[in-house]
Structure 1
């Protein structure tokens, strides 16, 4: 029997090689959700998501997607860069994240508005239950790379009327290097 080469590989630095698609998100896409928005003289890329191409369509039942999110280091007026964050369209579906490189936080929010933070470091395995919004925040000085597996029928439900979260994470001189502020 012949052994075939796999179409997609995960490299040690958190990049995919081979068959994948990439989506990129710039500052303008999250600017209105910042505690103190930027004046947008520049519009840097904040994060990218690479998804392995497995010939499964979004919304197709029974499949899984595999991807890697890479969040750049940086901040706007002290607030660390973050992903948009989302619930799943099929709200009761869960997801797994795991830390590949960098240092970050996973912000989780339930449908009642309760929020909590989990540390994301290389090797950390994080389960995101259904009915839970999730956002990655890069609190480190290097790129935060996080792997993910989710059901192909999950979909993504981004907020159309504003930020899903009330929690903001800002640089701080404390021993942990950040402080948490919540909107009222």
Structure 2
């Protein structure tokens, strides 16, 4: 065949791979590991737990911050309990209040806990294949209630940013425990603003559909 009028096109391999139920791999990834010794957000204490125990890992492929750019990440939340409180992430809001986020559960079982700026909490069940939208200006926390790693993929704007300071100032008011084999959610009434009425079911549905 005469190739005089044809140009060669380079074909390369992807720099990022994310196989189902496996961790994200590739070039220029940023990784964070939370260990028990640094996890100061649990309401329970467990002196028998090794301080080096991994609670969760977060790996993210970052794009340059800017309108329309996206980050892709992977979260592994390990199974375990601090006393009777299930392992969970610290949780965060986004620095950019307009940023939304999607979470895809790839493995395991647990809960994604939502937190409004008014201190109200509600949860959705996590199971393999479930997809969860985190609305703008809503915080979220992940809880592993199973006996295997809880693995999730995430997609969010590159200019979202992680706001942990707001969680330090206004913590999650709900906590998830193992009550003799049964899942129990306790609410810290004293931490819930008295001036704010509890979110009604229709308000929560509106958040999730926004």
Q: Which protein is richer in strand relative to its size? A: 1
Q: Which has the larger radius of gyration?
A: 2
Are 2:55 and 2:87, in contact at CA under 8 Å, matched by a contact in 1?
Answer: yes
Q: What's the offset of the Cα at 1:50?
A: 1.1
Q: Does 1:22 align with 2:31?
A: yes
Alignment size in residue pairs: 178
Q: Does 1:168 align with 2:168?
A: no
- Structure-to-structure mapping, 1:19-168, within 5 angstroms: 19=27, 20-31=29-40, 33-39=41-47, 42-43=50-51, 44-52=53-61, 56-57=63-64, 59-159=65-165, 161-162=168-169, 164-168=171-175
Are 1:104 and 1:121, in contact at CA under 8 Å, matched by a contact in 2?
Answer: yes
| Structure 1 unpaired stretches of 5+ | none
Query: Could you list the per-position Cα deviations for residues 75-131 of structure 1 after superposition, in whole angstroms to 9, with x for gaps in the alignment?
Result: 011100011100000112110001000111000011111110101111001000001
Q: What's the offset of the Cα at 1:40?
A: 7.1
Q: Cα RMSD (Å) of the superposition?
A: 1.8
SS in structure 2 at match of 1:36: coil
- Superposed structure 1 runs of 4+ greater than 4 Å apart: none
Which structure would you say has the larger RCO, counting Cα contacts within 8 Å and 6 or more residues apart?
1
Q: What's the offset of the Cα at 1:16?
A: 1.2
SS in structure 2 at match of 1:35: coil
Q: TM-score, normalising length from structure 1?
A: 0.89
